[in-house]
Amino acid sequence: MPNHQSSTRVSFRGSSREDPRTFLFRLAAIASLGGLLFGFDTGVISGALVYLHEDFQLTAVTEGLVVTSLLFPGATAGALLGGPIADRVGRKKSLVWAGAVFVVSTVACALAPNLTVLIAARIALGYAVGVASVVVPLYLAEMAPASQRGRIVTVNQLMLVTGLFLAFVMNAILANLIDDHVVWRYMVGVALLPAGCLLLGMRTLPDTPRWYASKQMWSETRRTLQRAHLAARVEAEYEQITAIVEEDAMQGRVSAFAFCRSRPWMKRLIVVGVVLAMAQQTTGVNVVMYYAPTVLESSGLTRSASLIASATVGIAMIVFTVVGMWILGVMGRRRMMLLGFGGVAASHLGLLLTYLLPDSALRSYLILLFMLSVTAFMVTFLGTTGFLVLSEMFPLPIRGFAMGASLGGLWVANSLISFLFPILAERYGSVAVFAGFMVLNMLATLFAFRCIPETKGRTLEELEGDLRARYSGTVAERA
């Protein structure tokens, strides 16, 4: 292995011209455009579908293909492949490539001459969304100092919910400005602007110090730490990173699969990560996002009233994310997860009890209230911690691979729940479905209590040492 000690004496003139806080702000703003596109591209199709019916004469089956092709196979493949690719070529290059795919697939969607091209473009767009869902929180977590990591990584979640809200707003604006069925092309084409900014912006940023170290690029490791961290912390952080990398390097250059085979505790961590990611989807928040207008209309509200009422959910998601980012500074991740899953379970209990009431305006607004409650607990406590904890808990040699596996599970769960909800609600009724969500979230609360480590306030290298010791003997985390 190259002697990195000599590299530590290299003078990096000019590498600290930009204040670390300014650099981290610029870095977070650019990288989290991936989160904005994640939210926008998953939300924009709801407004475009009305006009797509006119252009492409959609059936129920082809409508389902247009909507779900982004989630599966698109985003699922992007998540599963994005992590290992990020380990191999780097976090920065992965996001540059994702930006390029966002640009090309957005143009292809907007100009699609037929349904086949549109679905193919949506799959490609989903691939980029899947890559962004894995690599953006990974990139931000590996760049940020331990004291700021929580709030920097959750900027991505804020951008995600902002992207969803902007999709709904842009759909409404464009539908009123352009009185033509081709307006859907403008709706999906708007994403070209943030996609281009992500592509060009990421080219100006370095890769993470952890990835550079994993490739034995010691000068780049230290130079990037100097840009992102206060001078007093650079040496200590550099020594922690190199100590972990040197220990792993003694085993020789092996794949993530080989690391997992030789270290069972890493496999247990991956299982915890996959279950945690899937549990984010079993909160039922997708029901609120995708089916709120339908659920509210069926509960007794008029169509226009249900659309206006459901728009409040989008606004609430932004507000709750900001509140969650503040709470993150004063509360541990694990406690926030326990509050989140427990609160969501209680909200679903409220929903199923409300559905047992006789039809009335009060019943409709109680349903809206409990839907907002599901959103509040999910976004405030789970949305802000889910991606964050996943980006923190995995060791460097398998970090990209494990993130990809976890987010792959998330997208599979997302697709299944989004697809099955209307079918199950029609067959068994809303009471049974919300009872199912309640039980799943009670189980998720127990899972978080037993298995989720506290990651707040420690460097990624300190966490790796602690998790190695804890999970080597048991997967359970004791409070």
Predicted local confidence at residue 311, as pLDDT: 60
CA atoms of 269 and 272, how far apart (whole Å): 5
Predicted local confidence at residue 16, as pLDDT: 43
- Could you say which residues of the chain have pLDDT below 50? 1-3, 5-16, 303-304, 306-307, 474-479
Domains assigned to the chain: 18-205 (1.20.1250.20), 254-479 (1.20.1250.20)
pTM of the model: 0.85
Q: Are 254 and 39 in contact (CB under 8 A)?
A: no
- Which structure tokens are listed for 269? 């961590």
Q: Which of 43, 66, 183 is nearest to 115 (CA)?
A: 66
415 Cβ contact partners less than 8 Å away, ≥ 6 residues apart: 68, 71, 72, 76
Residue 244 Cα distances to 76, 201, 247, 298, 395, angstroms: 31, 31, 5, 56, 9
In sign, the C-alpha dihedral spanning 167, 69, 256, 443 is positive
Q: What is the pLDDT of residues 212-261, one digit of tens each?
A: 999 999 999 999 999 999 888 899 999 999 998 888 776 665 677 777 77
One-character DSSP codes across 217-254: -HHHHHHHHHHHS-HHHHHHHHHHHHHHHHHHHTT-S-
204 Cβ contact partners less than 8 Å away, ≥ 6 residues apart: 30
Predicted local confidence at residue 317, as pLDDT: 82
Predicted local confidence at residue 308, as pLDDT: 56
